[in-house]
Amino acid sequence: MTRLLRIFCRGVTVIVLILPINATPSGFDPISTADDIYSEMDPFSTQNEVSASPAKDMAADRAMAPCQFTAIEASLSLLEAVERALCNNPQTRKAWSSVKAQAAQVGISQAAYLPTLNATMSGSYGNNKTTVKGYPIFSRDKSTTVLGYNLKLSWTLFDFGLRSANLANAQQLLAAANAMQDANLQTVFATAAQSYYDLLSAQGALDASIDSERSARESYMAADAKYAAGAGTLADKLQAQTTYAQASLDRAKANGELKNAHGTLAIAMGLSANTPLIVEEQSGELPDTDFVKSVDALIEDAKRDHPSLIAAQAQVQAAKATVDAAKAEGLPSVALTGAVSYNDQIGIAPGDTVTENDNIGIQVNIPLFEGFGRSYRIQSAKAQVESKTADLANTEQQISLDVWKSYQSLQTETENLRATGNLSQSAKQSFNVAQGRYKAGVGTIIELLSAQSSLANSRQQRIKALSNWRTARLKLASSLGKLGFWAI
């Protein structure tokens, strides 16, 4: 085996010497070739810990392949809007990349358990020409070729836990990265759904403002007709005209807010802000709240399952592994070493001079003193444990507060939804009565315009309350760390 290796290395050395530097085949890119080879290699199967798409398994119940979309041609459903956001939002793609990078770090830590093998090859050519004028017999013209290679092996056999600590650190950071990806998906999910609801709310507000403008115009036309017939006053006409102008202004403002909502939803889905969107109208039936339990039970569920808390716990464990690694750096390590070298000098009298060396041995490395640097690294690592532990406590408190606020917000919005439903019905009846009284000549313009304003406000409040309720429900599910397509 050693002989074959020597012959191979010698042959490669000769080829390297013969080939000119510019003899690389046209179109050959060694960097790209190396990337193609190594990027597909995963001997430790670390990529099994990486999801197949930025949306992870949150898009698994789609009929189409995850994160494979066609152009938006028909009306956009809430389900599709959320999935597009999970797949294409820059935040989710960044979190996905972080998981892949950390999975590679686990592979690097596992590679430390394997030996390293390095080969070097060298070749040189020299010409030594000596000319003695008048005495050609003493002149010399000699060429020398030197070929050589070295093959070195190093394999750490024992290191008092340094490699295992580094591996534990990398594995815990991978767990944290996966949990942070889950938390990021929860946030993007909630943001996309809220943007969708905001767009629906803006569309409803525009429709309501158009209705209010129409009603204001009818009131103005009625006041103008009465004034022209001598049955009304100029003050009534001008007041109705002012209300009509204000309604037109409100309609223009609502149209601008609708366009802003379109851009916000497009950005949430990872699209350009000027992407045209048509959203599906939501049915009047509200989604269920079966997942809502007592607030105490919800807080306990969140403390157990929330991905942000899982990530914080993993980061604490990773910091503890860093302390172990810093301590292990100061302990001895034992490595297996070996080397094979070959040197052939051609052209040196009386013939070729060939030198061959083979050796194998055990190397013990004992760190004795490095200027107290290790002591400070251990202190720094312990401080990081304290910091990550504090972050864990802070995360737990923040999750508890988010669940509490989201729960109370849902209760409040449920009451608001019920109240605005009653208010909308009463305002509609009041406007119909005031409009009939004014047309019959027994009501005043003040009464009509007041009822008209109350109706417009009640419509806006109803639309806003419905959007707020849906958002509050989603935020509660998100604060529990359980948000998924079941919620929509």
The answer to whether the bond into 332 is cis (omega within 30° of 0) is: no
Quote the CA–CA distance of 456 and 210 in Å, as a whole number: 10
390: confidence class by pLDDT, cuts 50, 70, 90:
very high
- Amino acid at site 316: V
What is the rounded average pLDDT of the residues 425-452? 84
pLDDT 10s digits, 300-346: 999 988 999 999 999 999 999 999 999 998 899 999 999 988 888 77
Closest CA to 404 of 488, 322, 297, 485: 297
15: confidence class by pLDDT, cuts 50, 70, 90:
very low
Residue 22 is predicted with a pLDDT of 44
pLDDT 10s digits, 247-277: 899 899 999 999 999 999 999 998 899 988 8
> Exposure string (b/e) for 50-80, b if CB count within 10 Å is 16 or more?
bbebbbbebbeebeeebbeeeebeeebebbb
In a domain, 393, yes or no: yes
In a domain, 42, yes or no: no
Q: In this structure, are residues 185 and 310 in contact, taking their beta carbons and an 8 Å threshold?
A: no
Residue 17 is predicted with a pLDDT of 43
> Which residues, listed in sequence order, are joined to residue 361 by a DSSP beta bridge?
337
Quote the CA–CA distance of 344 and 356 in Å, as a whole number: 9
* 3-state secondary structure labels for all residues of the chain: CHHHHHHHHHHHHHHHHHCCHHHCCCCCCHHHHHHHHHCCCCCCCHHHHCCCCCCCCCCCCCCCCCCCCCCCCCCECHHHHHHHHHHHCHHHHHHHHHHHHHHHHHHHHHHCCCCEEEEEEEEEEEEEEECCCCCHHHCEEEEEEEEEEEEEEEEEEECCCHHHHHHHHHHHHHHHHHHHHHHHHHHHHHHHHHHHHHHHHHHHHHHHHHHHHHHHHHHHHHHHHHHHHCCCCHHHHHHHHHHHHHHHHHHHHHHHHHHHHHHHHHHHCCCCCCCCCCECCCCCCCCCCCCCCCHHHHHHHHHHHCHHHHHHHHHHHHHHHHHHHHHHCCCCEEEEEEEEEEEEEECCCCCCEEEEEEEEEEEEECCCCCCCHHHHHHHHHHHHHHHHHHHHHHHHHHHHHHHHHHHHHHHHHHHHHHHHHHHHHHHHHHHHHHHHHHHHCCCCHHHHHHHHHHHHHHHHHHHHHHHHHHHHHHHHHHHCCCCCHHHC
Residue 158 is predicted with a pLDDT of 92
Residue 51, pLDDT > 80, answer yes
Q: In this structure, are residues 51 and 97 in contact, taking their beta carbons and an 8 Å threshold?
A: no
Residue 25, pLDDT > 70, answer no
In a domain, 53, yes or no: no
Residue 103 is predicted with a pLDDT of 94
What is the rounded average pLDDT of the residues 195-217? 88
In a domain, 464, yes or no: yes
In a domain, 218, yes or no: yes
> Which residues, listed in sequence order, are joined to residue 422 by a DSSP beta bridge?
none
Residue 215, pLDDT > 50, answer yes
- Amino acid at site 160: F
Give, in order, the Cα–Cα distances in Å from 70 to each of 52, 64, 73, 138. Answer: 19, 10, 8, 86
Q: In this structure, are residues 154 and 336 in contact, taking their beta carbons and an 8 Å threshold?
A: yes
Residue 33, pLDDT > 60, answer no
Residue 14 is predicted with a pLDDT of 45
pLDDT 10s digits, 119-175: 898 888 877 777 777 777 777 777 788 888 899 999 999 999 999 999 999 999 999
- Give the other-Cβ count within 10 Å of 445's Cβ: 23
What is the rounded average pLDDT of the residues 271-296? 81
Range of the domain at 439: 75-114+160-331+372-487
Q: In this structure, are residues 179 and 347 in contact, taking their beta carbons and an 8 Å threshold?
A: no
Q: Structure tokens of 384?
A: 């990081």
Quote the CA–CA distance of 470 and 286 in Å, as a whole number: 8
pLDDT 10s digits, 122-138: 888 877 777 777 777 77
Residue 123 is predicted with a pLDDT of 83
| More confidently predicted of 351 and 302 | 302
Quote the CA–CA distance of 414 and 403 in Å, as a whole number: 16
What is the rounded average pLDDT of the residues 276-282? 80
Residue 98, pLDDT > 70, answer yes
Closest CA to 219 of 232, 206, 207: 232
- The number of distinct structural domains making up the chain is 1
| Angle made by CA atoms 470, 474, 475, in degrees to the nearest 5 | 115
In a domain, 90, yes or no: yes
In a domain, 242, yes or no: yes
In a domain, 91, yes or no: yes
CATH of the domain at 424: 1.20.1600.10
